Amino acid sequence: MSIIEIKVPSPGESISHVELFHWLVKEGDIVHKNAEIAELESDKATLMLVADQAGKI
């Protein structure tokens, strides 16, 4: 099984810092491509982190 790097999407020009708010999946879950896996939070917005590929967390 290979490890897939998860990249945080660009939140926008005026946002330079985001934090992981909470995971929407748990260890061992199977996820499909484009599934929402976590919520990210900045001082201006909440963003969803999606899986670039299908796989197992």
Q: Model confidence over 1-57: pLDDT tens digits? A: 678 888 777 767 777 788 899 999 999 999 999 999 999 998 888 889 999 999 999
Instruction: Check which CATH number belongs to the domain holding 8 and give it.
Output: 2.40.50.100
pLDDT of residue 1: 66
* Domain with 10 in it: 1-57
Name the pTM for this structure. 0.77
> Domains in the chain: how many in total?
1
In the chain, count H helices and then E strands. Answer: 0, 5
